[in-house]
Amino acid sequence: MLAKDISEIDPGSENWSRLVQLLKDFGPGGPERWKGTLLVVYRGLKPLHAVDLGSGLKVKVDFRGASRLDALSAESGFPRVIALEEDALERVVGHARRDVNCYDDYFRQWGALLEGLSREWRKTIFVHPPGRRRIPFVSHKAVERSVNLLVPDGTLLLFAVTENWRTWASIILGYRDGAFWLVSSLDTLGVEELALSDGALEEAAESLRSRYSGTVRAITVERESLSRISKSRFPPGAALWEINCGGIQGLNIPLRWKLIALVVALVSSLRHGPQGGRKSGMKG
């Protein structure tokens, strides 16, 4: 799924640092996701290392075994605890090595690591609160088939975060012949803080098409809109509202993507109650 001759063209150091910052700010759990989390590496009933993941500082704990993480949480004041047997990570990597090698693409390697993690879950890796009894695992082949179904061949996928309608961060992924062959950004156009409003998105898409060939399918979102969506109790409804208000724009969005987004919104609305909406800002 990742081409062996993948091209990485002028990603821009500041651009990538901003993308990483977005993952920190708006990824699962947001910027506070590690606050209040204790990591313990143990051997039997002996704690080898205990670290506050929020601050990165070592702490002393009274570890009584992986079956008593509830007591450890109550006594230490950490609401979340991760306990790893000393060879847990080695075992995860060992499982992965049986199925892949260093010449396989990164998606397959990460999939193998996730499968290894699922095999060690509740064997050498424990958490409090307990969470799922099993980590759901999707095979690399299933992911590859799903991507082939969802992403039209010859796609140049552009995702850009804007600030006052000018590019703040962006990423371009080229997909062709069943593999991602390109990783780039709007920095390749040689214009800092490129405007993406009032028809400028179409102009940028044409420039990308001329440079790389393919169909540019673009999604842009204002940083403030992204913040409002992440803080909303009903993110799908908030996203629809931002589309209506122009905070999210789209270009050449495939019908299959729109249908999936609609299904997600409908399923979420059944859980959170209906949300109103007006005219869509997505262009087919």
Torsions phi, psi for 86 (to 5 deg): -55, -30
Is residue 178 one of the residues assigned to a domain? yes
Collapsed DSSP state (helix, strand, coil) of residue 203? helix
**Mean pLDDT of all residues in 128-149:** 82
Identify which of 29-33, 177-181, 220-224 has the greatest average pLDDT. Answer: 220-224
pLDDT reading at 275 higher than 50 = no
Whether residue 184 sits in one domain with residue 111: no
Whether residue 166 sits in one domain with residue 261: yes
Conformation bin of residue 236: beta by default, left when phi > 0, alpha when psi is -120 to 50: alpha
**Mean pLDDT of all residues in 205-233:** 92
Is residue 272 one of the residues assigned to a domain? no
Domain hosting residue 132, numbered range = 88-145
Number of domains into which the chain is organized: 3
Is residue 275 one of the residues assigned to a domain? no
Residue where one domain finishes, among candidates 145, 161, 188: 145
**Mean pLDDT of all residues in 127-135:** 85
Residue where one domain finishes, among candidates 108, 129, 145: 145
Is residue 270 one of the residues assigned to a domain? no
User: What is the spatial distance between Cα 183 and Cα 25, in angstroms, rounded to a whole number?
Assistant: 22
User: What is the spatial distance between Cα 217 and Cα 253, in angstroms, rounded to a whole number?
Assistant: 6
Whether residue 254 sits in one domain with residue 173: yes
Using CB atoms within 10 Å of the CB of residue 170, give its burial: 0 to 12 exposed, 13 to 18 middle, 19+ buried. buried
Whether residue 67 sits in one domain with residue 125: no
Whether residue 159 sits in one domain with residue 95: no
Whether residue 127 sits in one domain with residue 79: no
pLDDT the model gives residue 140: 74
> In this predicted structure, which of 131-140, 216-225, 256-265 has the lowest mean pLDDT?
131-140
pLDDT reading at 12 higher than 80 = no
Whether residue 163 sits in one domain with residue 123: no
Confidence of residue 102 (pLDDT cuts 50, 70, 90): low
Is residue 18 one of the residues assigned to a domain? yes
What are the structure tokens assigned to 253, written together?
């969005």
Reply yes or no: is the peptide bond before residue 129 cis, omega within 30 of 0.
Answer: yes
**Mean pLDDT of all residues in 84-108:** 80
Whether residue 116 sits in one domain with residue 131: yes
Whether residue 212 sits in one domain with residue 179: yes
